[in-house]
Structure 1
Amino acid sequence: MPLLLLVPRALALCAVPWPLGSCATLPSEEADEGSLPNALAGPFREIDQGELGNSRAAPHVMNDDERFARDASVVDLDGDPSTLAAAGFFAATLGPEGAEPDPLAPPNAIVRYDAADGRSFERSPVTVLAPELPWEGGTVAAPSALLVGGELWLYYAAAGGIGLARSEGGAAFAREPAPVLAPTAPGDGGWERGAVPGSPGVVRLPDGSLRMFYVVAGDGGASFVGEARSDDGLAWERVGDAPALAPAPLPAAGASAAEDEPFDGAAVLDPAPVLAVSATGRPSLRVYYAGRDSAGRSAIGLAARFGHDGPLQRAAAPVFGASSALDPRAPWVAAYPGFSLLFVTQAAGTRAGDDHPAVAAGVAPADASLPPPEP
């Protein structure tokens, strides 16, 4: 994925070491470090109707009420950020022959839709992965696709952990026979307590190694984001002895009404890492994620760090969906020269019968002028 400028150093962030964090800002650099704020990192506005083709209805770039495609992972297959053609991989639910699928059922397929303009996805998908192995437990979900050499690698969540399938052309995939990231032993004393890792987000670092961020469920509906590293994408080593990102601290007892519960005070989910570089060439890593509060509302947050190691610092406010009633989740960011596209899964609408999942898109900066849609 192309490198972008980092979140501005003046943007208020909160460090997130386990179990609680404290507010901070990113380290300051020279005056030419970058514009304040950095509009390419967010916040994102909803995409407009005139920016979508294929008769899609903004802000939804995907509203498939036959397969309930969601959880987008969008890949620029030629590796050239100046060209917009991309492949989108989505989790989907396919029903029995001749029967409608249940939108609440776990995904049982990963499907591919292409988009000549990077956002207006075709109407006819290709199923590239379905559950076959016992450890998958009948489900494949949460795709995270990336280019590695001449291959397309597709990480995915299943009942027994996180799997990997690989393809030379992006249509026929060969999967690994066992999960590449399985649950830890329940009695090892680690913070994951044997919970099944899911929702992988994988990024390839400049040195060729890979980083994975993933979700582990906790008690009482809480969830946390862990981190792992790998040199070959197959053997993964967990990073640290605590979550990379945890729910934000709740206001102290007796706090004033102005100190509202943070949008991510109950759970952090669906990490999506993006490499970045500052205007002065300082490498960094951003992790977009879905945050949930105790009322079940969700919005898209952002955490970041300079360099590729060390604690993440979270932005104090969401970058998308702060006032949305559609509960956006499962973010994915695709970067192009001059703008970024954010894809999120959310309810198709607020009316009765519109509660099935759809994929909406956002744009940053808000005044970005996108190339004309295709077709």
Structure 2
Amino acid sequence: MDGSDEGSLPNAHAGPFREIEQEELGNARTAPRAMDDDDRFARDASVVDLDGDPSTLAAAGFFAATLGLGGAAPDPLAPPNAIVRHDAADGRSFARASATVLTPELPWEGGVVAAPSALRVGGEIWLYYAAEGGIGLARSADGAGFAREPAPVLAPDDGGWERGAVPGSPGVVRLPDGSFRMFYAVTGDGGASSVGEARSDDGLVWERVGSGPALAPGSLAGAGAPEEGEPFDGAAVSDPAPVLAVSATGRPLLRVYYAARDSHGRSAIGLAARLGHDGPLQRAVAPVFGASSALSPRAPSVAVYPGFSLLFVTQAAGTRDGQGYPVVAAGVAPADAALPPPTP
């Protein structure tokens, strides 16, 4: 990024992340699991600051979930059919109580609402989500009752590099000028996924950026390979999560966390970034989380506070039989960060 040290990837607040420890997590949660729901399999967190003040920790977490239908037990392998909200007074220890805020209602959703990306827009919470026919948007004044747009705000594009693939896993951020930027996953031939980018002035009408992906698998992009061996993101990149930041000299940064997979099926969380809000993304050569994990972390969400950042990822509950269902684990950067006491 212009050869400037201020853009070095990663840095202390951007990662790497360590797993959160037991004394840092409340609400009778077991570290590093900030969410462990084997009744509805809540996963794919999107965390929103409740008051817009980063110096306070209270947050709402929006999670994809699977509800059992007709009295049947939910299937952890079935696509999510709900988005639920759990609050956390300390930004990480999510309450056991929840509210279901969105379920599929429209034909284009195909019975699926998944991969939430929530953000504050003025006094509202806007919730982007993935469905069978594309990416939708629902808006709420209180974060509980949501009114959705009747059609996807980003539908398949037959004429470009995406070749009609359905966009999914949205990650949306609002820039300082009031415009919006969306990163989203596109699965191509053979199941490999890349990340596309779109821009919007109002968050409703979107225009794709560029004639190719904003982030492709490392082996295709010719970047991100460590000195020895294959790239950790050489097979697929997906689940983008953009975060705004400021460099050491006050220049704007746009970071994009993402799920990475190599050709052996190993998963980790990667980071790419750019100085400013436009231009190519430069990726870090090593993961920021999960490099040695056997739990297949994915779907990152990052919340930034003064002095530290919190990372939430979806991963398997464990490696033993019966532990393949998803949980949400939490991490913190920098590794020596001292978190405020958990609440409650």
TM-score w.r.t. length of structure 2: 0.96
User: 1:227, 1:250 → 2: CA distance?
Assistant: 17
Determine if the alignment matches structure 1 residue 83 to structure 2 residue 52: no
3-state SS in 1 of match to 2:40: coil
Give the letter for the 2:55 counterpart: S
Report the counterpart of residue 15 of structure 1 in structure 2.
none
Instruction: Name 2:244's counterpart in structure 1.
Output: 275
AA aligned to 2:36 is N
Mapped to 2, the partners of 1:50 and 1:159 lie a distance apart of 40
In 2, distance between residues paired with 1:140 and 1:238? 22
- Does residue 301 of the first structure (1) align with residue 277 of the second (2)? no
Q: 2:309 aligns with which of 340, 343, 348?
A: 340
State the shift of 1:250 in Å: 6.9
Residue 207 of structure 1 is matched in structure 2 by 177
Whole-Å Cα distance in 1 between the matches of residues 7 and 167 of structure 2? Answer: 36
Distance 1:258 1:339 in 2: 30
**Which position in structure 1 is the counterpart of 2:128?**
155
The 8 Å contact of residues 73 and 144 in structure 1, kept in 2 or not, is answered as yes
Q: How big is the shift at 1:251? A: 12
TM-score calculated relative to the size of structure 1: 0.88
Task: After TM superposition, give the deviation of residue 100 of structure 1 in Å.
Answer: 1.5
**AA aligned opposite 1:338:** G
Q: Separation in 2 of the partners of 1:76 and 1:44?
A: 20
Q: Equivalent residue for 1:225? A: 195
Cα deviations by residue, 1:102-157 (Å, 9 ceiling, x for unpaired) = 00000000000000000000111100000000000000000000001111000000
Partner residue, 2:11: 38
Task: State the shift of 1:275 in Å.
Answer: 0.5
Residues 44-69 of structure 1, C-alpha deviations (whole Å, 9 max, x = no match): 00000000000000000001000000
Deviation at 1:351, TM superposition (A): 1.3
User: Which letter maps to 2:4?
Assistant: S
Q: Residues 156-210 of structure 1: CA distance to partner in whole angstroms, max 9, x if unpaired?
A: 000000000000000000000000000012xx2x100000000000000000000
Give the structure 2 partner of residue 320 of structure 1. 289
Contact 1:221 1:266 in 2 (8 A): no
The whole-number CA distance in structure 2 between the counterparts of 1:250 and 1:287 is 18
Does residue 125 (structure 1) correspond to residue 98 (structure 2)? The answer is yes
CA deviation after TM superposition for structure 1 residue 41, in Å: 0.4
Deviation at 1:258, TM superposition (A): 7.0
CA distance in 1: counterparts of 2:37 and 2:108, whole angstroms: 28
1:22 aligns to what? Answer: none
Choose 1 or 2 for highest CA Rg.
1
Aligned counterparts of 1:249 and 1:36: Cα–Cα separation in 2 = 19
The one-letter code matched in structure 2 to 1:27 is G
Q: The residue matched to 2:13 in structure 1 has which SS?
A: helix
Pairwise mapping of residues 87-126 of structure 1 onto structure 2 (< 5 A)?
A: 87-126=60-99
**Amino acid aligned to 1:69:** A
RMSD of the TM alignment (CA)? 1.7
| Counterpart secondary structure, 2:219 | coil
Gaps in structure 1 of 5+ consecutive residues: 1-24
- Cα 1:278–1:169 change in 2 (3 A) is same
Distance across 2 between alignment mates of 1:54 and 1:99 = 29
Shift of 1:259: 3.1
Displaced runs of 4 or more, over 6 A? 34-37
Aligned length in residues: 341
Distance 2:282 2:227 in 1: 23
Question: Which of 224, 228, 232 is the equivalent residue of 1:263?
Answer: 232
Out of 137, 147, 158, which is 2:110 matched to?
Answer: 137
Retained in 2: the 8 A contact 1:95–1:102? yes
1:54 aligns with 2:23: no
How has the CA–CA distance of structure 1 residues 84 and 195 changed in structure 2, closer, same or farther, with 3 Å as cutoff? Answer: same
Distance 1:227 1:93 in 2: 28
Q: Give distance in 2, aligned partners of 1:351 and 1:170.
A: 37
Matched residue type, 2:201: D
> SS state of the match for residue 73, structure 1?
strand
Per the TM alignment, residue 98 of structure 1 is displaced from its structure 2 partner at its CA by 3.4
Contact 2:9 2:283 in 1 (8 A): no
Deviation at 1:224, TM superposition (A): 0.6
Give the residue type in structure 2 aligned to 1:96: L
Structure 2 CA distance for aligned equivalents of residues 209 and 259 of structure 1: 41
**Structure-2 separation of matches of 1:151 and 1:236:** 20
Q: Which residue of 2 aligns with 1:27?
A: 3
Amino acid at match of 1:236: W
Work out whether residues 35 and 94 of structure 2, in 8 Å CA contact, stay in contact via their aligned partners in 1.
yes
Q: Structure 1 counterpart of 2:265, which letter?
A: G
In structure 1, how many angstroms separate the alpha carbons of the residues matched to 2:262 and 2:248? 35
- The 3-state SS of whatever aligns with 2:265 is coil
Which residue of 2 is the match for residue 65 of structure 1? Answer: 38
Shift of 1:340: 0.2
What displacement does 1:294 show? 1.5
Change (3 A) 1:258 1:279: closer
- 1:373 equivalent to 2:335? Answer no
Q: Which amino acid aligns with 2:38?
A: D
Quick one: distance in 1 between partners of 2:70 and 2:61? 25
Amino acid at match of 2:206: W
5+ long unaligned stretches in structure 2: none
Contact 2:10/2:284, CA 8 A, preserved across alignment? no
The question of whether the paired residues in 1 share the 8 Å contact of 2:15 and 2:333 is answered with: yes
